[in-house]
Amino acid sequence: MNRFPIWDSHIHLNQYPKEKIPYYLEKWENGGVEGIIAVATDLRSSYELLEWKQKYPDFIHIAMGHHPEQELPVEKDLLDLLALIQMESSKIVAIGEVGIIHYRQSELGVNDLNGYIELLKIFTETAKKLNVPIILHAVHDKTEIALQTLLEENMKKAHFHWFKSSKETTKKVIEAGYTVSFTPELTFRERDQMIAKQFPLTQILLETDGPWPLEGNFNGRIPEPIWIRESISTLAKLKKLTEEDIVYVLNQNISHLYLESI
């Protein structure tokens, strides 16, 4: 299967050791990775990804946004980020990573989600104006909140990364025609496998979310896009298709969602 090109649909490239990024990029490309969707988490990382995009324009495709698992941006930073997105719109393929806080909600003392919902609406409007998809961090019970926001805003193209939600909300995401992605934990996590069975293959992508650590067989190792081949093997078994068929559809999905607007 190494002759078939693969994509990592969600990776935090700038969070890898800076001095090792050229090594990793060469390794991944030599390993059959055709490209990556590198996502920002704030204004600073957006600038960093622009620098890497300039050096590797055909391999790195970037998204800009403000990750929800942190405090809301101050007004100046938000305005600067929105201005940067507008100025560099020809270099981005999506708005992201954005969404609704979940894991750090208690830690940051967030009792009212309205600020995060309003920020998501701003990013949704930006994505619509630029005619690019939006990349979402919205897990468990927050998926429903993000989903309803997208539907209210008439957002057509959305990608829920590292998807995990209830059966009821999963059904709604499928009906909305949105895309979801799974990390290599798909290879062993029953929850992910059950969700992947529910979704049509045309609404699925694969990712690493690297360098965020994974569990199971991947524990203690730095995630790399090449691992996605293991996810492809699992997905082929779940969908009762060949690995070649899986790769073909996944690449079509990437092209349709991210590359047609370039």
Using an 8 Å Cβ cutoff, are 77 and 84 in contact? no
Rounded alpha-carbon distances, angstroms, from residue 119 to 7, 75, 78, 224, 243: 29, 11, 9, 31, 39
- Determine if residue 260 is labeled as part of a ligand binding site: no
What is the amino acid identity at position 200?
Answer: P
Segments in the chain forming alpha helices (H): 21-30, 43-55, 75-87, 114-130, 141-152, 167-176, 190-198, 228-239, 243-254
Q: Residues in the chain, how many?
A: 262
- Determine if residue 107 is labeled as part of a ligand binding site: no
- Determine if residue 112 is labeled as part of a ligand binding site: no
- Determine if residue 12 is labeled as part of a ligand binding site: yes
DSSP 8-state secondary structure symbol assigned to residue 4: S
Strand order in the sheet with 33-39: 6-11, 33-39, 60-64, 92-99, 134-137, 158-160, 179-182, 204-206
Rounded Cα gap, residues 59 and 43, in angstroms: 22
Using an 8 Å Cβ cutoff, are 20 and 241 in contact? no
- Determine if residue 159 is labeled as part of a ligand binding site: no
- Determine if residue 75 is labeled as part of a ligand binding site: no
Binding residues: 10, 12, 97, 137, 161, 209
Binding residues for a divalent metal cation: 10, 12, 97, 137, 161, 209
